[in-house]
Amino acid sequence: MLETLLPILIFAALGVAVVGAWRRVRLWRQGRPSAVPLLKGLAALPRRYLVDLHHVVGRDKVISNTHVATAGGFVAAAVLMILVHGLDLGASEGWGGVLGWLLLAASACMFMGSLFVARRRRHPPARLSKGPWMRLPKSLMAFSLGVFLVTLPTVGILPAGFGSWVLALALAAVVGWGLAEMVVGMTWGGPMKHAFAGALHLAFHRRAERFGEGNRSTGLKALDLENEAASLGVETPADFTWNQLLGFDACVQCGRCEAVCPAFAAGQPLNPKKLIQDMVVGLAGGSDAGYAGSPYPGKPVGEHHGSPHGPIVGRGGKALVDAETLWSCTTCRACVEECPMMIEHVDAIVDMRRFLTLERGETPNKAPEVLDNLIATDNPGGFAPGARMHWAADLNLPLMADLQQVDVLLWLGDGAFDMRNQRTLRALVKVLRAAKVDFAVLGNEERDSGDVARRLGDEATFQSLARRNIATLAKYHFQHILTCDPHSFHVLGNEYGELGGDYRVYHHSTYIAELHDAGRLTFAPWKGGSVTYHDPCYLGRYNGEYEAPRRVLEALGITLNEMQRSGFRSRCCGGGGGAPITDIPGERRIPDMRMNDVKESGAGLVAVGCPQCTAMLEGVVDASAEVRDIAELVADALVAAPSEETAARHRPRAVEVA
Amino acid sequence: MQPEHQGVAVTVLVSVGRHPLTGRARRADQDARGLELALGLEERLPGSRINLLHAGPRCEESESALRGYLGMGAGTGLEHLTLLEQPEGADAIPALAEHLASATPQLVITGARAERGEGSGLLPYALAEHLGWPLVNGLAAVEKVEHGVATLLQALPRGQRRRLQVRLPAIVSVDGAAPAPRQSAFGPARRAQLEVTPLAAERDHELAEWAMAPARKRPKRLKIIKSASARDRFKAAAAKAEGGSGQVLEGVSSEQGADAILKLLREEGVLPR
Ligand code: SF4
Ligand code: SF4
């Protein structure tokens, strides 16, 4: 009886799954074209899955092992099941018996995994979605147990015709349930959809360059402004590229992104997981009522709906997503860093912002003023461009225009207009002079890098600033660019390339570390209190520089009290992505939360490496810690480098301690 | 048909502005406020039509500034601008007056003064005289338009408002009291159409004779408060600038009026005594 039922069930499930796959592919193909090498992508899939994806999943060992057991067991069991029960090879001589035993092992392994899945689902953390996901452990068990049992007769543990037909029917029903969830659900929607969409997403990822050891791809992709008739940015779900849509569909609703999102934690109306799920709702059409995870703070689920060709942000009314959700994001990339499915939330958010800014002119709050300033004065504050060097009137900074050729071009950034950042800049100049670095500045020829304009969705202003900066830089000869602003660092280093400007850019922490390694800087020992270090998003997650600032601090003689969230898990200060400008209200402020992290570390001083972080963290009232830039700490600790002969006569000396 | 559903035909006169710090061409602030007023009117009075009108040379700089106005039309019916093409230095007033006389809009909105060129603020007055239409300056809001009569809110100094009624067609000018302009969106701005009509230029001879220099801030008369008490000084600082010395002349002949003005000018030392 089972021998007849099982092949029918298996092939019926496979057939229905194929139809589902075809329908799902059609949904993705509503998106705009995107050129990716299909075969190369498929060939790279195993490596991307086994290495890159598991690198992220492996941050949580229990889940990682659970997933290996369950998914590995399932894939093996599914293939073997088709061979053994579908094609009836289990009964054949020779290999048949071996296949049966392997199938038993695979389904047992999967069953073990499913027990762990079940345990996790008993008291699921808030970040996990409930709803259909709650039945997943049962379905996994049904599949693995069912397959295990029906295979027992095959290997001869039980007699072939054991039990009654009632038992056989019951077993077939259990296997059928398993097949429905695991095979049909994979393409028709259901928790297992992540496996199908996820595999293809990995193969056809829009940022193939991010895979591989130590690789990253964080620069936003340029918007084509050549075609004058085209609508700019993403208005409807179908305006995303097809592989972005595919990526959204791959989300497993694990909520890791939600757990690290600073905007969500601050009670602003953004939850990256819900945003991705809303895009899935949009691409298939319907309402978000079926979503079973945490909502956007302050926005009940079930009031939004969308369709592939309908607007994402309604004009005046509700559609799929409210504009303030998109404007809450600080582009800190914490979500992207944590996402096991390699989904690119920030790309999607900026794509949608581009439409709101470039097509609707609906950038909220102070943002239109900032953009107008950038257009008219090349800096966000609307200061006279000729006043850019006023802070350095007494420093006699060498100008590129005079020297034409230097080793290091010091990029000042718009912090040159900010009194607080001017202190950092002065400190940096002092350090460079102490190390006898051959450097010069662009002076009034420098313009805003375009970072804020781009992240506010104003790609036109970004490209205009970028092209003019590139033309200015092309006039001069220098080895590399040095800046104390991670945003300029990122934009110059990672985003100008697409527009024809390729530079070797250093963040000042990296540069100071190298100067120190080369013995060009000598520091007095640290006499202050305990210190912690805040990783700026645009230095850390965007550029992978976690080490150099710590090396500099170590060289200063500082032992760091690391915050719980540091390194790649660092929590944003709230200053990126134009968030302080769009200023979407929440229940708390992001910088307050970060200063609280500092307080919990017990440090009395927080070292930073970004003008934006400095401004945000210093803006916290009643803060328990002082905020200093690394350049300031270094400048304070400078002592004249021992010259050759004094070094030879070096002997211990008394040190002043108070 | 409901009276409030009658749309009005509005023409907004727009100029090429100049950023005060960098001198870059941009949409002029007051003209943009004028367009904002018109767009608000269009939202409330369905069926209204807005036309943008500019007289001047066509070059890359002026075109991008003019497109700045068109970018405010995202999601509205505003899609084109009529450009009466004239060479640099031509007199815009006859060209505009001729065009307005034939296009017959009901309401013409303009900024109080231009940000470049002469910037005398005389254009609305000259146009009103050419066309024989009433003029209201310092407009804050258009409250309603019914049966060809507009109810307007005029801004007076120190936040005061005056409600006026005027029979259309009319010209109104706006300054900083009008609502701030909305953001200009790049996409609609560059897709919109400029309808260019070349015109035989009438040279502005007077303008050609003038020497242009950057404007400087006018000196302010210092108010010296002799009182020692901080409260008095504060009151004086917060009080209305124009003291009680103003004079309202009513029912006087034009000669008497002129005499009064001359007398005041002599007292203030503007004219020799
Ligand atoms: S977007 Fe990524 S991190 Fe967020 S819930 Fe989905 S799979 Fe998890
Ligand atoms: S980039 Fe940062 S703020 Fe934006 S959604 Fe991701 S985690 Fe949240």
pLDDT tens-digit map of B99-110: 999 998 999 999
Residue with tokens 């500034």: B65
Q: Which of A228, A363, A382 lies closest to B190 in CB terms?
A: A228
Dig out the tokens for A540 from the structure: 């850390």
Residue A416 is classified by DSSP as: G
Does the CB of A223 have a partner CB in chain B at under 8 Å? no
- Residue A374, chain B, CB below 8 Å: the answer is no
The verdict on a CB contact (< 8 Å) between A360 and B75 is yes
* More reliable by pLDDT, A50 or B6: A50
User: Does the CB atom of residue A335 touch ligand 2 within 6 A?
Assistant: yes
Interface touch B191/A229, C-beta < 8 Å: yes
CA distances for A372 relative to A189, A364, A365, A379, A579, angstroms: 45, 13, 13, 9, 17
Q: Which of A618-648 are b and which e, b meaning 16 or more Cβ less than 10 Å from the residue's Cβ?
A: bbbeebebbbbbbbbbbbebbeeeeeeeeee
**Nearest ligand to the CA atom of A577:** 2
| Closest in B22, B183, B190 to A361, CB measured | B183
Ligand nearest to the CA of A291: 1
| pLDDT for res A91 | 64
Determine, for residues A359 and B188 on separate chains, whether the beta-carbon distance falls below 8 Å: yes
A229 lies within 8 A of chain B by CB: yes
Contact A193, A187 (CB under 8 A): yes
Backbone angles phi, psi at A223, to 5 degrees: -90, 135
Shortest distance between the Cα of A236 and any Cα of chain B, in A, equals 16
Interface list for B 100-159 with A (CB within 8 A): none
More confident site: A98 or B154: B154
Chain A contact for B179, CB < 8 A?
no
Digit-coded pLDDT (tens) for A166-214: 888 888 899 999 999 999 999 998 899 999 999 999 999 999 999 988 8
| Alpha-carbon distance values, A140 to A148, A150, A177, B148, B163 (Å) | 12, 15, 9, 75, 75
Q: Across residues A502-506, what is the average pLDDT?
A: 96
Band of pLDDT at residue A94, cut at 50, 70 and 90: low
pLDDT, greater one: B89 or A491? A491
Instruction: Assign 3-class secondary structure to A5-16.
Output: HHHHHHHHHHHH
Ligand 1 pocket by Cβ (under 6 Å): A 251-257, 272-273, 276, 338-341, 343
Place of tokens 């941050």: A59
User: Is 60 exceeded by the pLDDT of residue B243?
Assistant: no
> Nearest residue CA, atom 8 of ligand 2?
A261
> Is A228 near chain B, with CB under 8 Å?
yes
Tell me the CA–centroid distance for residue A329 and ligand 2, in Å.
5
Q: pLDDT tier at B267 (50, 70, 90 boundaries)?
A: confident
| Ligand 1 nearest atom to the CA of residue A250, by list position | 7
How many Å lie between the alpha carbon of B228 and the closest alpha carbon of chain A?
37
With pLDDT > 70 as the criterion, what percentage of chain B qualifies? 94
User: Residue A384's closest chain B neighbor by CA?
Assistant: B21
Of the bound ligands, which one is closest to the alpha carbon of residue A251? 1
Q: A382 to chain B: which residues are within 8 Å by CB?
A: 21
> Per this entry, what is the length of chain A?
658
A290 to chain B, closest Cα gap in Å: 32
Beta pairing partners, B162: B154
- What pLDDT shows up at residue B90? 85
The pLDDT value given to residue A653:
65
- Nearest chain A Cα to B17, which residue? A376
Q: What is the 3-state secondary structure (H, E, C) of B52-75?
A: EEEEECCCHHHHHHHHHHHHHHCC
Pairing state of beta strands A505-507 and A439-441? unpaired
Q: Which of B21, B183, B186 sits opposite A460 (nearest CB)?
A: B186
Judge: A376–B21 Cβ closer than 8 Å, yes or no.
Answer: yes
What is the pLDDT confidence band of residue B271, given thresholds at 50, 70 and 90? confident
Decide: B4 and B45 in contact? Cβ < 8 Å: yes
Residue A97 confidence (pLDDT): 74
Q: Is A491 exposed, middle or buried (0-12, 13-18, 19+ CB in 10 A)?
A: buried
B184 touches chain A (CB under 8 A): yes
Mutation for A interface: B26, B39, B43, B183, most A CBs within 10 A: B183
The SS3 call for residue A528 is coil
Please check whether residue B24 touches A, CB under 8 A: yes
pLDDT digits (tens, 9 = 90+) for A111-143: 999 999 999 999 999 999 999 999 999 999 999
Write the pLDDT tens digit of every residue in A516-572.
Answer: 999 999 999 999 899 999 999 999 999 999 999 999 999 999 999 999 999 999 999
Interchain CB distance below 8 Å, B187 and A358: yes
Query: How far A331 CA lies from chain B's nearest CA (Å)?
Result: 22
Q: How far is the CA of A608 from the centre of ligand 1 (A)?
A: 29
Considering only CB atoms, B187 lies closest to which of A232, A363, A382, namely A232
- Cβ contacts (< 8 Å) between B190 and chain A: which residues? 228
Atom of ligand 2 nearest to the CA of A346: 1
On whether the CB atoms of residues A103 and A81 are closer than 8 A, the answer is yes
With CB atoms and an 8 Å threshold, state whether A458 touches B187.
no
- Contact check, Cβ <8 Å, B185/A361: yes
- From ligand 2's centre to the CA of A326, what distance in Å? 10
pLDDT (0 to 100) of residue B240: 62
Q: Where are the beta strands (DSSP E) in A484-529?
A: 505-507, 522-523
The beta-carbon neighbor of B26 closest among A315, A360, A376 is A376
Q: In this model, does residue A92 exceed pLDDT 90?
A: no
Q: What is the pLDDT of residues A449-469, one digit of tens each?
A: 999 999 999 999 999 999 999
Residue A165: per-residue pLDDT = 80
Instruction: Determine contact: B72 vs chain A, CB below 8 A.
Output: yes
* Tally of CB atoms within 10 A around A272: 29
Q: State the sign of the Cα–Cα–Cα–Cα dihedral A325, A327, A329, A331.
A: positive
Strands (E), A510-582: 522-523, 531-533
Q: What is the mean pLDDT of chain A?
A: 93
Q: How does pLDDT run across A601-655, given as a tens digit for each residue?
A: 999 999 999 999 999 999 999 899 999 999 999 999 998 765 554 544 555 567 6
The residue among A428, A411, A408, A414 whose CA lies nearest residue A630 is: A428
Confidence band of B3 (pLDDT split at 50, 70, 90): very low
CB contact under 8 Å between B26 and A229, yes or no, is no
Q: Which of the four pLDDT bands, split at 50, 70 and 90, describes residue B133?
A: very high
CATH fold group of domain B3-208: Rossmann fold (3.40.50)
Output the pLDDT for position B2. Answer: 45
Give distance in angstroms: CA of A594 to centre of ligand 1.
23
- CB-based contact (8 Å) between A375 and chain B? yes
Domains of chain B, by residue range, sit at 3-208
Which residues of chain A neighbour B21 with C-beta distances below 8 Å?
Answer: 376-377, 382-385
Tens of pLDDT, residues A351-394: 999 999 999 999 999 999 999 999 999 999 999 999 999 999 99
A604 near B CB under 8 A:
no
Identify whether A311 is preceded by a cis peptide bond (ω within 30 of 0): no
Q: Is there an atom of ligand 2 within 6 Å of A261 CB?
A: yes
- Are B183 and A228 within 8 A, CB to CB? no
Residue of A191, A183, A189, A186 lying closest to A285 (CA atoms) = A189
Q: How confident is the model at residue A490, as a pLDDT?
A: 97
- Residue matched to tokens 């049962």: A138
- The predicted model gives A509-517 an average pLDDT of 96
Residue to substitute in A257, A260, A261 for testing ligand 2 pocket (most ligand atoms within 8 angstroms of CB): A261
What percent of chain B lies above the pLDDT cut of 90? 52
B23: nearest CA in chain A?
Answer: A376
| Helix or strand (DSSP H, E) at A118 | helix A95-122
Range scoring the smallest mean pLDDT among A458-467, B117-126, B201-210: B201-210
Cβ A371–B183 below 8 Å, yes or no?
A: yes
